[in-house]
Amino acid sequence: MTAGIVQCTLVIVTVTAAAKRSFSEPLWRALAVFRFVSVGYAALRLAFIDRAEYSRPGWAWAVIAVMAAWTVVTTIAYARPARRTRLLLGADLAVTVAIMFSTVLLRDGIATANGAVVTATWMAGPVLAWAIRYGRRAGTIAGLIVAGADFALLGQSAISTVLNGAVLLVLSGWSVGHLARLSAELAAQRQRATEVEAASRERERLARDIHDSVLQVLALVQRRGAEAGGAAAELGQLAGQQEAALRALVGGTWAGDQASGDVDLCQLLRPAQNDRVTVSVPAPPVLLDSAAAAELTAAAQAALDNVREHCGAQARAWVLVEDEPGLIRVTIRDDGPGIPDGRLAEAAAAGRLGISHSIRGRLRDLGGSAVISSAAGEGTTVELCLPRRADPGGRPPGTPRTSDRAGRPAATVPGTAKVRT
């Protein structure tokens, strides 16, 4: 069983890492193709269209060679995600702008030329790279920088061409950045769906194994214990309770099926219900971060374990889940004999840290609180409070109520032993 869980975890981690690596890779490959095609287009313009515009065509071909070499360098560098740093992208932008300004040395009377720089469409390469790596804002800013360099070169004489190029550069940076963000969101959703599917399959496999082994053994212990009677009957009864809880756990809906990645606290607490424990939860799901939900469930289970251990097998317990504005409250109440005054402090001093660590410690780590109220002969109430957000009513989230269920202040309840985190 443990091996299966480990295997499932490794699959999820592998899929997660692969999704993070792969979501933008098609865009980077498309950028590499665009830059190589743009170098070819710039070479064609120099050879057949703009040849007469250059006073130094030999040096113009040298610039084309530099563009081709830089395209090879950036393509190799961008092939690995770890190299796609701000330093490399900044160098790419700077080299592109520098090559654009080399047009001044290659052409005479550039201000009266046909409005084309030696780079042609190749100058959009770093704009697209910034957009793919850092999103719409970065792509737009890079587009404005390149458009500004183009305007500085061509000036007022080719204002129409400059404006068209500027609009295309900015729109390209924004659009590609938006596409990259959507690709990332789609990859995250696909990753989540893959995780859910992998976990569900492993859960089904474990459920089959548990049904064929553990549940059968518990059912046998329950039957033989009832036949033997005496102390064995009590053990059989406990085995039956655990069998019912385990069947509910493996047969219920997985709490992590929510698209948001949160889990339903109600689904985690329902398996605790048996003939001695009643669990009452709201009809709608109570969604929590998976780690917080697991800790809150563990704290509630620790309280139920205390009921079984200290109140006897016949004691009853009730679990109530309340989803209040800004606060989730889980109350565990039992009909046991209660906790004598000073008993909790004595247990902590003796090294029995079930309440202080398993209950109070968990809630304290989550930013919540736990209150244990007990009156002699009236049972014990454990109130776990976990804040969601700031409470508009003025009471800090996670602060326990200061009155008991009857409306009396908790501090004035006779014989009450209270522990507050």
| Distance in angstroms (rounded) separating the CA atoms of residues 297 and 359 | 10
Better-scored residue on pLDDT, 252 or 206: 206
User: 285-315 burial, b for 16+ CB within 10 Å, e for fewer?
Assistant: bbbbeeebbbbbbebbbbbbebbbeebeeeb
In terms of CATH architecture, what is 260-420? 2-Layer Sandwich (3.30)
- CA-closest candidate to residue 128, choices 146, 154, 108, 151: 146
> How large is the average pLDDT for residues 19-27?
68
Percent of the chain exceeding pLDDT 90 equals 32
Cα distance between residue 263 and residue 293, in whole Å: 7
End-to-end CA distance of the chain: 37
What are the tens digits of pLDDT across the range 149-180?
999 888 766 788 888 889 999 999 999 999 88
pLDDT in tens, 307-364: 888 787 678 899 999 998 889 999 999 988 887 776 665 655 554 545 656 788 888 8
The pLDDT value recorded for residue 172 is 92
**Segment 213-228, tens digit of pLDDT:** 777 788 788 788 888 8
pLDDT above 80 (res 404): no
Report residue 331 as tokens: 């109350």
- The band of 270, judged by pLDDT with boundaries at 50, 70 and 90, is confident
Q: What percent of the chain has pLDDT over 70?
A: 76
Spans of all domains in the chain = 2-189, 260-420
Q: Give the pTM.
A: 0.54
β pairing state of 277-280 and 317-324? parallel
Residue 382 and residue 421 in contact, taking contact as beta carbons nearer than 8 Å? no
Mean of all residue pLDDT scores within the chain: 78
Instruction: Judge contact between 229 and 272, C-beta under 8 A.
Output: no
Task: Answer whether 71's CB lies under 8 Å from 60's CB.
Answer: no
Which tokens in the block code for residue 311?
A: 């109140």
Instruction: State mean pLDDT over 260-288.
Output: 84
Residue that wins the pLDDT comparison between 86 and 50: 86
Listed in sequence order, the residues at least 6 apart from 155 whose beta carbon sits closer than 8 Å to its beta carbon are 111
Confidence of residue 198 (pLDDT cuts 50, 70, 90): confident
